Amino acid sequence: MSENRLCYGCMEVKGEQAVCPHCGYQDGTPYLPDYIAPGTMLRERYLIGVLLGHNGEGATYLAYDTVICCKVLIREYMPIGLCTRIKGKPIISVNYNNLAQYKALMAEYTELNKTLARMRNLSHINPTLDLFAENNTTYTVFEYTEGVKLLDFLKDNAGELSWNQAKKMFPPLFTTLSLVHNAGIVHRGISPETIYVTEKGNLQLSAFCISSVRTANTELKTELFPGYAAPEQYSASGRQGTWTDVYGICAVLYRILTGCMPTEAPSRLDNDNLCAPHELSGSIPVHVSKAIMDGLALNSDERTQTITELVTRLFEETEEETAQRTAVTPPPVPKYEPQPEPEYEDEEVYEDYEDYEDLKDGKSAVSAFDKVKVPMIIGILLITVILIVALVLAKVFRDSDSQVISQNSGTSSSLSDIVTVTTEAVTATKEYDSVMINVVGMDYKAKKADLAEWIELNCIAEEYSDEYPAGQIIWQSVKEGEDFKSGDTLDVKVSLGPSKVKVPEFKGVTLSAYIAEIEKIGIKNHTSTPAVNYNYATGAVIKTSVEPGETIDLTTDYKFVITYADNPAVTTTAPPAATTAPTAETTVAPPPASQPAQPGSNPGDGGQDLPGIEEAD
């Protein structure tokens, strides 16, 4: 079909009509200039539709894959504040002062989506279909799934669900989230806004983002979900990990079971009056209520730490609750009245004599199969469950050796256009209490102070870097997402800035100010030489051994010499007076450099004849 006949609002065929009969979108509808215009083609394959949403990390668009003819979602990395859109074009222009930061965050964004692409067989997260670089940024293509947000689903179901409904819907999502955590990913944004209910009634988690977006007081515009964001997300120095997502998923359970959103974490820190779920609804089991409240603990150390632990507590009834649930009044036993014994012409029809005797005595015959069939059924169910779990795990982590990116060869970029999926087993959960955050691209001194109560940053080397400004971290010994123990030391390498720098201009600059300027850009192997030159004020830089604008390679054995003016006061003798008064010696200050030379004077000495004084060139 021709993409020109598609509606940019819903990507359904609308023909030549100006207004879409399906969604009402009208051609020529204004759009935000900071984002891609509807009708733009990316990679000569994806037709961009309307903007669906945006945050500090980037924007999400409805799109159409013209190769396989289906709707998709496209996520564009575009951190507003670090970059801008070139007017009328899809190309992004990065602010020069934010280039290093832009690249570091884009690398984090790319690695996040590569990891998600390796887990695309999980049905309860939005599958990643493609990843490519274009327009000075990176794009991720996701499968378009028909469904509604959990928040809208609740509105259509009286605002809440029962525990019996929830315990059937959520276990697959719990399993998926646990696998995501084992792969080193923390969502940080779990809420009814980011969980979708598909047409089949399954839950699907979406909107994974880099950590800076879901943490307050960072370089990017923050996206926190009030009531669902954990307390540690409101501080850049807060310790985050799997327990952060435990808080989010417990807040979601609180909302769907009680119909009330939990109080926001900052308000709870001031006055924690959050009621337990079973106090708001008597139908919620006490053990479920307690598990949710333990997952909503404000202190992350006292909170349930993993999804596995949470699931165990949610589905583990107390003995008292089990007894209450199973306690039923036994049915009345009918009084047995013996019946006249029938007469049989041939009693040999009963092959089992004992059965016949039982019937004669008014008892029902119980076969050997009846005695063992209940344990057999339970055993078969357990084996079936184990096989299903094993098959799911094998499917997720089997060797795909296939590419996540489409087979088309695309644009060249500093980032790879193709992500090759290799076999990677999920890292077993280690006995650590933290998950490492990314510190690359951040100021070493500031981050060392921020994280002092959690970990110790140790600079093991300083290296030149053309990518990161001086003082920023360029390498960390423990990668982001890996398990880590609080109080341990994190080794880092810090940037000295670029290895090749341009000599700054010295005109009109004093020696002390010039030295501060060159040391700031890394020129530290320098010496200063005084010279007399009345064309310059005392203390002003006259010349340098390397001309301004030329480049110095700081990795070589360079020598940088600065010549500055050091002009002594000039002593002259006044001409003899007409009287016989004694001569007086007078100290005369040199004329300003702008004063024109006197006739008969040397132009190079500022208008004074100074024989015997050597001048600088």
Question: Does residue 284 register a pLDDT over 60?
Answer: yes
Question: Rounded to the nearest 5 degrees, what angle is found at the Cα of 314, between the Cα atoms of 310 and 315?
Answer: 120
And the tokens for 42?
A: 């990316």
* Beta carbons of 177 and 165 less than 8 angstroms apart: no
Question: Does residue 584 register a pLDDT over 50?
Answer: no
Provide the pLDDT for residue 367.
54
Question: Does residue 337 register a pLDDT over 70?
Answer: no
Q: Please, which residues have CB within 8 angstroms of residue 83's CB and are 6 or more apart in sequence?
A: 92, 93, 94, 95, 98, 102, 137
Question: Does residue 594 register a pLDDT over 70?
Answer: no
Question: Does residue 342 register a pLDDT over 60?
Answer: no
Domain ranges of the chain: 31-143, 147-316, 434-495, 500-565
CATH number attached to the domain at 500-565:
3.30.10.20
pLDDT digit string, tens, across residues 124-147: 999 899 999 999 999 999 999 899
Provide the pLDDT for residue 504.
94
Provide the pLDDT for residue 290.
96
By CB atoms closer than 10 A (0-12, 13-18, 19+), residue 162 is middle
pLDDT digit string, tens, across residues 442-458: 889 888 887 877 788 99
Strands (E), 448-537: 456-463, 473-476, 483-484, 489-495, 500-502, 526-531
**Lowest-pLDDT choice from 178-187, 443-452, 465-474:** 443-452
Tell me the sheet residues that pair with 138: 133
Choose the CATH number for 31-143 among 3.40.630.40, 3.90.1300.10, 3.40.50.720, 3.30.200.20.
3.30.200.20
Percent of the chain with pLDDT over 90: 54
Provide the pLDDT for residue 487.
80
Tell me the sheet residues that pair with 131: 140
Provide the pLDDT for residue 416.
39
| Residue whose C-alpha is closest to residue 247's, from 289, 306, 203, 201 | 306
pLDDT digit string, tens, across residues 521-580: 889 899 999 998 888 999 999 999 999 999 999 989 898 999 999 988 766 555 555 544
CATH 3.40.50.300 describes domain 147-316 = no
pLDDT bracket for residue 375 (50, 70, 90): confident
pLDDT bracket for residue 322 (50, 70, 90): low
Report the chain's mean pLDDT, rounded to a whole number.
Answer: 81
Q: Which runs of consecutive H residues, i.e. helices, occur in 146-285? A: 150-155, 163-169, 171-182, 242-258, 265-270, 277-280
Question: Does residue 597 register a pLDDT over 50?
Answer: no
DSSP 8-state secondary structure symbol assigned to residue 99: H
**Lowest-pLDDT choice from 87-91, 315-319, 363-367:** 363-367
Question: Does residue 609 register a pLDDT over 50?
Answer: no
CATH 3.90.950.10 describes domain 434-495 = no
Provide the pLDDT for residue 56.
93
Provide the pLDDT for residue 425.
35
pLDDT digit string, tens, across residues 540-552: 999 999 999 999 9
pLDDT digit string, tens, across residues 56-84: 999 999 999 999 999 999 999 999 889 99
Question: Does residue 321 register a pLDDT over 70?
Answer: no
Provide the pLDDT for residue 442.
86
Provide the pLDDT for residue 483.
77
Q: Which runs of consecutive H residues, i.e. helices, occur in 362-507? A: 368-397, 444-450
Tokens 């979900």: give the residue.
Answer: 225
Tokens 């709707």: give the residue.
Answer: 71
Percent of the chain with pLDDT over 70: 75
Tokens 């003082």: give the residue.
Answer: 471
- More reliable by pLDDT, 386 or 406: 386
| Residue whose C-alpha is closest to residue 293's, from 316, 272, 308, 266 | 272
Report how far residue 190's alpha carbon sits from residue 207's, in angstroms, rounded to the nearest whole number. Answer: 9
Regarding beta strands 92-94 and 83-85, do their DSSP bridges make them parallel or antiparallel, or are they unpaired? antiparallel
φ, ψ of residue 174 to 5 degrees: the values are -60, -45
* Plot region of 94 (φ>0 → left; ψ -120 to 50 → alpha; else → beta): beta
Question: Does residue 402 register a pLDDT over 60?
Answer: no
pLDDT bracket for residue 422 (50, 70, 90): very low
Provide the pLDDT for residue 482.
81
The answer to whether domain 31-143 and domain 500-565 are alike in fold is no
